Amino acid sequence: MDTDDSTGNGSQVEEGTAVLQISVFLPNRPGAFVSILDLLKKNHVVVLGLSVQDSIDNTVVRLVVSDPDTVETLFIEKGIPYNTTELVVVELRDGAEQMPDCFRTLLNAETNIHFIYPLLTQPNGRAALALCVEDSDFGGSMLSKAGFRVLRQEDLSR
């Protein structure tokens, strides 16, 4: 199997655990999100990426975290409703200039992108995007074959 070289131009998805997004469903009231962030911080979990979708009745917060297993355990213990989804996290060596090529790769592979958001941290000092695509294994493979580095949970966790 090919592996990434020091320039990050590998041709295959690296071994490791897929990046897991945790979506938490919160009532739309002041302090609901802060209480989640406090809970994560208290348990030494770092939020690496997030997206918030607000409505009149509730809020959906999508999180990429340093330790998804701990978050799942906490949410189960506290009775906090959540859902998990595998993401493709792609590193952009040249920053935003690479976005059109990244998206074109998925377009050419006829893979729909459901949503995208940037990570708050910059793994390896480079920008990274979290993408929810129809099939994360296929999408990750196509991006990797096109020369993009697809990050795994181990690349993000501390």
pLDDT band at residue 121 under the 50/70/90 scheme: confident
The CATH superfamily of 87-156 is ACT domain (3.30.70.260)
Confidence check: pLDDT of 49 > 90: yes
pTM score, whole prediction: 0.84
> Boundaries of CATH 3.30.70.260 in the chain?
87-156
Confidence check: pLDDT of 2 > 60: no
Q: Exposure string (b/e) for 55-81, b if CB count within 10 Å is 16 or more?
A: eeeebebbbbbbbbeebeebbeeeebe
Q: Tell me the mean pLDDT in the region 74-88.
A: 96
Place of tokens 């131009």: 9
* pLDDT per residue as tens digits for the range 93-110: 888 889 999 999 999 999
The CATH superfamily of 20-84 is VC0802-like (3.30.2130.10)
Q: What mean pLDDT value characterizes the chain?
A: 89
